[in-house]
Amino acid sequence: MRTLLVLVTYLSFSLLCPLITNAAEFLSGQEVTIAADETWDGDVYVSAQSVNIAGTVKGDLVVCAQKLHVTGTIEGGVFAACQQILLEGDCGRTCRLASQVAEVGEGAKLDGDLVAAGYSLTVNQDAVISGDLVYAGFQTLLRGEIARNVWAAVNRAELFGGVGGELSITTAGSHAPDPLMTDEFWPGTPLVKIPRVPSGLTIHDSATVGSKLIYNSPSEADISAMAKVTGPIEWIEPASPGKEPQQKMDYAWQQIKRFLTILAMGVLMIVVCPQTTGGVVEQIIQRPIASFLAGIVAVPLSVVMSVLVIALIVAIPMGFGWLDFDGLAVAGSFIASFAAVTYLGSLAFYFVFGAAVITCITLGRVVFSDHRITSRGPMILMLGFGLIFYVVLTCVPFLGMGIFVTAILFGFGGIFLWFMGKVLAGSAENRPRAATDGK
């Protein structure tokens, strides 16, 4: 339980915390590279399919891509959401990673903490993490050195290297099924190799733990007699649930129903309002950081607007009643109630389904970056592809709520910027026309 509480705290407040910067550079494209002889002052934000950092970044590095490869020096921290991440350089502060597969390469030095979530995490030999390691995912392979503590919740884990402090970990049993994801999963040449980690917790001869070892697992860990564990070893064996197979079936059926529901609502949005849906997605693709930040403003603003709309239900009838126009009080009440129901219903729909649909189409649009949204057909294809990633990511322990909140912020921020762009464009068209009419 302690491991789970620590992971919730770290991943809620560290992985999803907003970034505040004084100066920043924004880069995008098919492939973005910072060469070894380049030095970038301040923070660098990158949105691309492939990102290679061989030079020096004096601030933080913020990346949204399919592949991220760092061989240079990041004096700040790394904030990345990618399919594959390979860190082989030096990082001056805490790194926060969300990826399917991540690897800290040989010789890499991370001066802060490493907070990560995904399918697989590897810390190679001669890699050094000067702070804590906090990880939630399917598996982890630790060959390097972690100077302080390790807190993890995984299906399987293997330790060859050293942990300077406490090792607190939750794993599945030693007879858990083999992983389904392999290197052949990646199109083309994979940036990161997916290791085969045995089920449960395995601690080898070369492993060292500087403090106590606490592991929560249905079966006893495979701990070598040659491994050096300074503190006590505590095995917490969870109670075996009596209806585990039925619970798994119920959970799988819930995810299938959720997938089909979001898919149906997304198709409805695309068919009814394709231009608005496509415009919001393109807005997020072109201005991801601005859309996220706008969402922080748009979400509370929508709540304020809801209060104002509800207030109109009372204000309009009262206003007409005070004026004592026959029949207008009833008409005003009807109009106000209709407007309130329409607005609040639309807001509730967008909050529950619309933001998730926009996020899914955006994920698909990132993958199919060579194809712009030209009709309903491609948009539905992007929705289906992105929805797979969305459902899988929201099923990752401790990550689902973060993905849901991120989708809400991007969805509301994107539609806010799209609406403001339409308003400003309409004002710009009307100004010359008004001047011509005056002449």
Q: What's the distance, CA 361 to chain centroid?
A: 15
- Which pLDDT value is given to residue 11? 41
CA distance 344 to 337: 10
Burial 239-251 (b: 16+ CB within 10 A, else e): eeeeeeeeeeeee
pLDDT at res. 396: 74
Q: Worst-scoring range by mean pLDDT, 23-32, 141-150, 219-228? A: 23-32
How deeply is 423 buried, as exposed, middle or buried, from its count of CB atoms within 10 A (0-12, 13-18, 19+)? exposed
Does residue 272 have a pLDDT over 70? yes
Average pLDDT for 164-168:
96
What Cα–Cα distance (Å) separates residue 43 from each residue in 27, 204, 345?
11, 40, 40
pLDDT of residue 390: 81
Q: Give the residue, 117 or 317, on which the prediction is more confident.
A: 117
pLDDT at residue 436 in the model: 46
Question: Residue 280 corresponds to which tokens in the numbers above?
Answer: 């919001």
Of 424 and 184, more confident: 424
What residue type is assigned to position 30 of the chain?
A: Q
pLDDT higher than 50, residue 163: yes
Least confident among 103-117, 284-298, 331-345: 331-345
Q: Which of 401, 397, 403 is nearest to 136 (CA)?
A: 397
Question: pLDDT at position 382, please?
Answer: 84
- What pLDDT does residue 327 have? 52
Cα 37 to Cα 109: distance, rounded to the nearest angstrom? 20
Eight-class DSSP state of 107: T
Cα 222 to Cα 198: distance, rounded to the nearest angstrom: 10
Average the pLDDT over 125-144 and give the result. Answer: 95
Name the strand (E) or helix (H) holding 52: strand 43-53
Taking residues 104-122, report their average pLDDT. 94
Going by their DSSP bridges, the two strands 43-53 and 128-129 should be labelled as unpaired
Q: What is the pLDDT of residues 206-256, one digit of tens each?
A: 999 999 999 999 889 999 999 999 999 999 987 665 555 666 777 778 878
**Among 197-201, 304-308, 384-388, where is mean pLDDT lowest?**
304-308
- As a whole number, mean pLDDT of residues 14-36 equals 71
Instruction: Render pLDDT for 399-430 as a digit per residue (tens, 0 to 9).
Output: 777 888 888 888 888 888 888 877 777 666 65
- pLDDT at res. 10: 42
Asked if residue 52 lies in contact with residue 35, where contact means CB atoms within 8 angstroms, the answer is: no
Confidence band (pLDDT; 50, 70, 90) for 6? very low
Amino acid at 186: W
**Regarding predicted confidence, which is higher, 230 or 282?**
230
Q: How confident is the model at residue 3 (pLDDT cuts 50, 70, 90)?
A: very low
- The DSSP string of 355-398 is HHHHHHHHHHHHHTTTS---SHHHHHHHHHHHHHHHHHHHHSTT
pLDDT in tens, 48-93: 999 999 999 999 999 999 999 999 999 999 999 999 999 999 999 9
**Whether pLDDT at 15 is above 60:** no
pLDDT in tens, 245-257: 666 777 778 878 8
pLDDT category of residue 393 using cuts at 50, 70 and 90: confident
Q: For residue 2, what pLDDT is reported?
A: 43
Domain boundaries, the chain: 2-240, 245-438
Q: Are 278 and 379 in contact (CB under 8 A)?
A: yes
Confidence of residue 282 (pLDDT cuts 50, 70, 90): confident
Calculate the average pLDDT of the chain.
Answer: 81
Q: What is the pLDDT of residues 330-380, one digit of tens each?
A: 565 666 667 667 777 788 888 888 888 888 888 887 766 655 666 778 888
Of 28-32, 394-398, 403-407, the range with the highest mean pLDDT is 28-32
Model's pTM, two decimal places?
A: 0.54
If you ran DSSP here, which 8-state letter would residue 26 be given?
Answer: E
User: Look-up: residue for tokens 């057909």?
Assistant: 377
- The whole-angstrom separation of Cα 21 and Cα 325 is 57
Distance CA 298, CA 284 (A): 14
State yes or no: pLDDT of 439 exceeds 50: no
pLDDT surpasses 80 at 186: no
